[in-house]
Structure 1
Amino acid sequence: MGYDKAQLEQMNSGKGFIAALDQSGGSTPKALSLYGVEPSDYNGDEEMFKAVHDMRARIILAEDFTSDKVIGAILFERTMDDTINGKPVAQLLWEDRGVVPFLKIDKGLEETNNGVQMMKPIMEIDDLLARAVKHGIFGTKERSVIHEANENGIAAVVAQQFELAKQVCAAGLVPIIEPEVNIKSDSKAEAEEILRDEIEKRLNALPEGEMVMLKLTIPERAGLYDELAGHANVLRVVALSGGYSTAEACERLGKNRTMIASFSRALTEGLNVKMTDAEFNEALGQNIEKIYQASIC
């Protein structure tokens, strides 16, 4: 595979975490509300997406948002197609901040069936992947959700994830496979054991040199995913915050030595549109430092 060697090395062994800046249409209003921008402050989707782009640009340009602690960032499709200070976002991330750019490619979730939510079909996937390559994107991220320890449902989620991963790898990109386990699930620990085994089966069937990453809910049993992290086809295992507070997510992550963070809401916790740049940078810097320390533990 013709991966960028510097980016590959950074994702394989760089110290730090991956910032998830990929809220899509459905989750954008909540993300903006937490940032202090209410629906009454914008009119229609275009103004909404402009507001969230401004928030993301402010984060990316903050003094602590560099490869010293943030080794990668996941972008929403609109963000990839946009610019910051006149420069394409993925290009700015890598050239100016030293941060490896990824792209969220899933288009939302199906209704729950067999205790899981599969990904909706991704129309024109080949075109999307080609555009990602053109923009200098290193990899992709695709999310499913597991609500119950249902063996058939979890097997179906993992099968779908790895089928999509094949297409992503064929395009020269590294897929981040994300079968999230709902942190409120009554059978979370059991679901995670089943998930680990299903992922291992699929990893063992991959050809030599075909690299993937895994984005997983922080497990109930610390170290559950250590063997997956050491697999020859796995570049990195990263953790999603899943609704945990920044403090709890970092505390749980610190017990899992082979996982690094890929947090979204926990990264932006406490940030507000009305903050001065100094206040904003300080608050974001504190979040970055907490997540960084948990990731390098």
Structure 2
Amino acid sequence: MPRSKAYAIYYKSSLSHARRYADAYQQQLVHQYGLAQVELLASSPDRSKDIALLQDWLSRNADAGHRECLVIGGDGSVNIVAQCAATMEFEISVIPCGTGNDFAAGLGIGDWRWRLQSEGELSRRDLGKAGDCYFVNHAGCGISVALQQLQSPRAKQVFGRYSYLLALFRYLFTRPSRRCKIARNGTDRKAGFDEFQVAAISRRIGGGIVVYPQADTQRQQIGFLRLPQRARWRQLNALYWILRQQPERSASIDFTEATQGSLGDQHATIELDGDTTSLQGPVNIEIIVGGLAVRRPIHHKNKGVSL
């Protein structure tokens, strides 16, 4: 590891094992490689505070030959780091430690120790942009926001990624009057409604649910999926094909590919990579090709790797 490199370890402070992983990485970087510029950055419940913390680290290491941030957490943690990496160039290494870990899975990362054993290889990953914010897997509104409210921290700890599916089944059996309602074209509510809208640049959203099976590293497209208001049995049909990882086969789902589009209406809260934000729709969506510099295990070299 280059001695001129500045390292930050951003970890999910609410997870005890994340702190253990962070200590293990800091110890190796400092003691085994003799690096002096290794900072531990603990997450907080305040998203904007964490972004400011990362920006401060970047400003204090602006003259470093290289900068790398090890992200120990899930997709939400990666998303926070991406808000800075999109505009201030530095490398990201992901140490999976969250509920879904879909971004890490797309890079072929499953073992939290992988970066202790190897530097891996540097690659570029596409990045999505929603308004002035960024996403690494998806941006969504409607059902995907409701799922955040239907999952307790305890359920995430006990059921892991399956907590998303349990929350989805809970949603499907709520009263119709309590279901999500998004104007299809963002403004005209006479044009009909969707219950779910998502813009994805990777195959999976929360908990490994596949919404864009065609995604790969060379496609350079965004998959836009919309689920119109339907009777419950038709929603179950859509869920069936999503669980089969073939959402395009459901007649209840509208799916298109493009490099840009829009998401939500003026009443819709937008979530990014599984975390609810203050962003309100409608928002413009676009793709930033090769927007992230990420490290991944060297064995993951095949072209067209699924995201």
Pick the structure with greater CA Rg: 2
Normalised by the length of structure 1, the TM-score is 0.25
Q: Which has the higher strand share?
A: 2
